Amino acid sequence: MSKDPHQKLKVQLVLIDLDGTLVDSVPDLAYAIDGMMSQLDLPQRGEEKVRQWIGNGVERLVKRALVDQMSGEPEEALFKTAFHLFEICYKECNGQYSRLFSGVRQGIDWLKSQNLPLACITNKAEQFTIPLLKALNLFNDFQLVISGDTLPKQKPDPMPLLHVANHFGIAPAQSLMIGDSTNDIQAARAAGFPILCVTYGYNHGHDIRTAGADVVIDSLAELPNSIIIEK
């Protein structure tokens, strides 16, 4: 689905978000959050709540779990202890329960067949990003991986997107961002990128169709009908 069902985006470079776009990582994150909470003798939060809370980095996720809501700040000492426990739990389970969303493998394979550069761009820290990509056999699909701590700033700041475009020597207007949230849309708009979003991702329960993406699709398997590769 898109604003114009016949619209196709002309691109020479594709950047793809990780969590919520390629990978359903909620099962791993929920497992780690509940493990953290158990060690703190606090109530477990469960997968349903974690699915609503993710999308702004794991530090914010931990804070939301501690206060049991989207906004609010826990005590600093509690947060530091909790985050340390979360990192331990998440390192142990990262990639164990996560799965590719339906259509992802088909979409990636089609993009690769077009011989254009692919980059993965995520706000997840590198210590979690690389193992997850490798666990799900995605790591070798990308010529470049930008994690949340690769550069001084992360999405929704345009810096990561512009860094990738500069790396490949391709203009932002010919560089497509594929994501699942308003965070991705804001970053793309600030960088001058066209933006394609998927409907199934993590957008805090809001319908991404109303967020102003250029094109919205239900599966990455629909990519051949959504973009034109310029060579």
Q: Which residues are catalytic?
A: 17
Report the distance separating Cα 229 and Cα 131, nearest Å.
30
Report the distance separating Cα 10 and Cα 230, nearest Å.
6
Strand partners, 10: 228
In this structure, which amino acid lies at residue 115?
N
- C-beta separation of 17 from 148 below 8 A: no
Cis peptide before 43, with omega less than 30 degrees from 0? no
Smallest Cα–Cα separation from 158: which of 143, 172, 147, 174? 172
SS3 for 63?
Answer: helix
| Per-residue exposure over 125-139, b if at least 16 CB sit within 10 Å of its own CB, e if not | beebbbebbeebebe
Q: Count CB neighbours of 97 within 10 A.
A: 16
Spell out the residues 6+ positions from residue 115 whose beta carbon is closer than 8 angstroms to its own: 231
**N-term to C-term CA, the chain:** 25
Strand partners, 177: 15, 195
